[in-house]
């Protein structure tokens, strides 16, 4: 790993100010993704601003909003009694992520900021439009079994690796940012960007902005939610396909439904047309099948990832049937 300078920040404002004052600096919290990126040379930084002393690790439920501090650790949020009871999809997504050791270390802000697992991105010997804009995307015609079938293009088809981001996308979370120009909020649906012709720009966060908190609205449907993650091995693995789902029915009729998907899109994938296909209709095999077809209508599979088109529809059916009480 190339050497770098290091500063411990005492307050969020101090962190932002310090980072703004040092060229090519970045923030570090758990370090579980950043240190590997720096070892591999996928990212180089001359200075790290350590966030671990910041008072941003509270998880609170006040009124109608769950507020998750950016420095809360994955384990703490996953085990929080009210998160487990009222937002089970968040707890399940976190517990399906990484390993127990990493969940003790990794922060919520860092989890949302982690970089794609695309092997070409992680290998500085390969071209990559994310890492080196304009150099090309070998994944489009190369090894792309793990890549996106939605939201991509010829510039990039990498998926976002965070399970938590998928669950937060289903629940309409808001990301709170603090930067040199002050604080602002970005709905998570706008936080992650489609790659378009600038896949190096992954989020709406501006240079030097720090995630301070994630707000999740408390809704009845969030309490009836779950996360289904399909992997190449039973555990400690990234998603091939995942579904974050929340569902409320009366009788068999769908009264409220939220769906987001991992492993299939270039960002945590939400398509409200899929939800519209279910809303107000009985939760029948036909309705679920139609919702699945809407989801993959614009799919653009590549040489190795075509299996995801059917897999994600089956995953959707499985999780809806389970939440709907069919099994």
Partner 1 sequence: MTDEPAPESSAHTRRTVLKSTAAAAAGTVVASHHTSVASAETAHTGGARTRVTLSVNGERHRIAIEPRVTLLDALRDRLGLTGTKKGCDRGECGACTVLADGERIKSCLTLAVMRQGAEITTVEGLTRGDDLHPVQEAFIRHDAFQCGACTPGQIMSAVACIDEGHAGSEAEIREWMSGNLCRCAAYQNIVAAVADAAEEGRR
Residues 6+ apart with CB under 8 A from 149: 264, 265, 296, 299, 300, 301, 302, 305, 306, 308, 309
Give the number of residues in contact with partner 1, rule: CB under 8 A: 30
Q: How far apart are CA 69 and CA 67, in angstroms?
A: 6
Tell me: does residue 39 bind partner 1 (CB under 8 A).
Answer: yes
- The stretch among 47-55, 153-161, 197-205, 265-273 that binds partner 1 (CB under 8 A) is 47-55
Binding to partner 1 (CB under 8 A) within 103-132 occurs at 104-105
Q: Which of 50, 57, 200, 322 binds partner 1 (CB under 8 A)?
A: 50
Q: At what angle do helices 307-323 and 285-295 cross, to 10 degrees?
A: 140
Q: How far apart are CA 12 and CA 111, in angstroms?
A: 18
Q: Which of 14, 17, 20, 36 binds partner 1 (CB under 8 A)?
A: 36
**5 vs 182 by CB, closer to partner 1:** 5
Q: Which of 32, 162, 203, 266 binds partner 1 (CB under 8 A)?
A: 32
Tell me: does residue 46 bind partner 1 (CB under 8 A).
Answer: yes
Shortest distance in whole angstroms from residue 122 CB to partner 1: 10
Q: How far is CA 272 from CA 79, 167, 225, 268, in A?
A: 30, 15, 17, 13
Tell me: does residue 20 bind partner 1 (CB under 8 A).
Answer: no
Binding to partner 1 (CB under 8 A) within 56-75 occurs at 75
Q: Which run of H or E residues covers position 120?
A: helix 119-122
Cβ–Cβ under 8 Å, residues 121 and 158: yes
Q: Diameter of the chain by CA atoms?
A: 62
Binding to partner 1 (CB under 8 A) within 197-236 occurs at 234-236
Judged by the rule CB under 8 A, the positions of this chain that interact with partner 1 are: 1-6, 23, 28, 30-32, 35-36, 39, 46-48, 50, 52, 75, 98-102, 104-105, 234-236
């Amino acid at each position: 790993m190339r050497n770098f300078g290091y500063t411990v920040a005492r307050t969020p404002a101090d962190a932002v100010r310090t980072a703004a004052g040092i060229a090519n600096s970045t923030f570090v919290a758990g370090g579980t993704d950043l240190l590997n990126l720096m070892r591999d040379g996928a990212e180089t930084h001359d200075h790290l601003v350590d966030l671990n002393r910041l008072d941003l690790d509270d998880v609170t439920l006040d009124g109608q909003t769950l507020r998750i501090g950016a420095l809360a650790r994955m384990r703490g949020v996953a085990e929080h009694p009210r998160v487990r009871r009222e937002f089970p999809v968040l707890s399940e997504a976190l517990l399906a992520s990484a390993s127990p050791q990493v969940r003790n270390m990794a922060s919520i802000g860092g989890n949302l900021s982690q970089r794609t697992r695309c092997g070409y991105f992680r290998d500085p010997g390969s071209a990559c439009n994310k890492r080196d804009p304009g150099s090309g995307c070998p994944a489009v015609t190369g090894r792309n079994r793990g890549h996106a079938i939605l939201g991509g293009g010829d510039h990039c088809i990498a998926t976002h690796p965070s399970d938590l981001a998928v669950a937060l996308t289903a629940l309409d979370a808001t990301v709170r940012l603090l930067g040199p120009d002050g604080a602002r909020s970005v709905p998570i649906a706008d936080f992650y960007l489609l790659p378009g012709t600038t896949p190096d720009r992954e989020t709406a966060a501006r240079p030097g902005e720090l995630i301070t908190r994630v707000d999740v609205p408390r809704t009845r449907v969030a309490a009836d939610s779950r996360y289904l993650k399909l992997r190449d091995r039973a555990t400690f693995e990234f998603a091939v396909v995942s579904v974050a789902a929340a569902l409320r029915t009366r009788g068999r009729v769908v009264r409220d439904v939220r769906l987001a998907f991992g492993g299939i899109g270039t960002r945590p994938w939400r398509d409200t047309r899929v939800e519209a296909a279910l809303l107000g209709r009985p939760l029948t095999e036909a309705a679920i099948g139609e919702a699945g077809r809407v989801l993959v209508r614009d799919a653009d599979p590549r040489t190795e990832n075509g299996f995801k088109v059917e897999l994600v529809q089956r995953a959707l059916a499985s999780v809806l049937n389970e939440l709907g009480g069919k099994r």
